Structure 1
Amino acid sequence: MTTNYIDTFISVAPDCRVARAEAPPLTPKPSVAALQFELVAEHPYEMTSDEILFAVHATRNSVAEADLDAERERFFAKDQACLRASALGKRYGWGTHHDAQGRVALYGIGTEEYDRLLGDPGLTHKAAMRSSRA
């Protein structure tokens, strides 16, 4: 099972509380959202959703380089939540664009590029998952 999307724009959740995107706070032990943000912001269109999710998992769990292949198998043996469930789109105001190869970049709500992607008829459109029930 994969979490990758192709030619898709995931807009912020309908109940996102910010009008402008903000970076997740950096703390001594960074949150999943902070690690996701750092990876994608520093490497736009270089990684797929699967690669991002696993890299964050490996970092948070201090997986040794020698164990990465086995851990990747274990990690993806169970279904994983996709980036629609990330706090980036639910809380911090970041939309994710997934290109034709499934590689991801971030676009902040309220920016021209976000609005352009939101209106692009050539993309599949999904929204990040709501934080609370409607």
Structure 2
Amino acid sequence: MSGPPRHEAVGLNYYDTLIAVSDDCPAGHAEVPTSRTGRPTIAMVQYAMLSAGPGALTQEDVLFETWLRRQEPEPAAGERPRLRHEFFSRSQACLRASPLPKRHGWGLLFDGEGRVRLCPVESEEYRRIVAGEVPGVTVVKAMRTRRG
């Protein structure tokens, strides 16, 4: 049996893919997200997870943990498996809709195992991948914030 297909989302995970910043991203360089209200934003939660453990999580992990950490009060640890099942029983937007590549200048780079890490838009690695100089990595754009 062969592994998951490469260069596309399988389930909700990407493999060997860069989610590049959206065409209308206002950030010229990667910015650490902040909150104007004091409450953690989706961008802040995702940034904290991905910067704390680069390459440790899949897209599904990030989506579920983002939702879970924003619940008040946060559910008990024993509820996680049931809640994760319920969460993914509904349709979910992928990380192309994340505010990190849409507004904050962070590319999201997935390896061959579907693990994701941050890739700043101003980095040489990001530039090389977007220019097609890194074989085997597919580039997809984050969703635009505004209709085009």
In the superposition, the TM-score normalised over structure 1's length comes to 0.95
| Structure 2 unmatched ranges of 5 or more | 1-9
The whole-number CA distance in structure 2 between the counterparts of 1:106 and 1:116 is 15
Aligned to 1:90: 102
Deviation at 1:41?
A: 0.9
| Structure 1 unmatched ranges of 5 or more | none
Deviations 1:19-76 (A, max 9, x none): 1110110563200111001100110000001001111111111121010011001100
Aligned to 1:14: 23
The whole-number CA distance in structure 2 between the counterparts of 1:15 and 1:114 is 17
The whole-number CA distance in structure 1 between the counterparts of 2:127 and 2:114 is 20
Which of 15, 19, 38 pairs up with 1:28? 38
Q: Name segments (4+ residues, structure 1) moved above 3 Å.
A: none
Q: Choose 1 or 2 for highest CA Rg.
A: 2
What amino acid sits opposite 1:130 in the alignment? R
The whole-number CA distance in structure 1 between the counterparts of 2:22 and 2:12 is 18
The whole-number CA distance in structure 1 between the counterparts of 2:124 and 2:135 is 16
Task: Report SS of the residue matched to 2:57.
Answer: coil
Aligned to 1:63: 75
Q: Which of structures 1 and 2 has the larger relative contact order (alpha carbons within 8 angstroms, sep 6+)?
A: 1
Aligned to 2:137: 123
Which of 40, 43, 51 pairs up with 1:41? 51
- The yes-or-no answer on 1:110 pairing with 2:122 is yes
- 1:15 and 1:130 in contact (8 A); partners too: yes
Aligned to 1:78: 90
Which of 34, 42, 60 pairs up with 1:50? 60
Identity in percent: 40
The whole-number CA distance in structure 2 between the counterparts of 1:10 and 1:56 is 18
Number of residue-to-residue matches in the alignment: 134
What amino acid sits opposite 1:14 in the alignment? D
Task: Report SS of the residue matched to 1:52.
Answer: helix
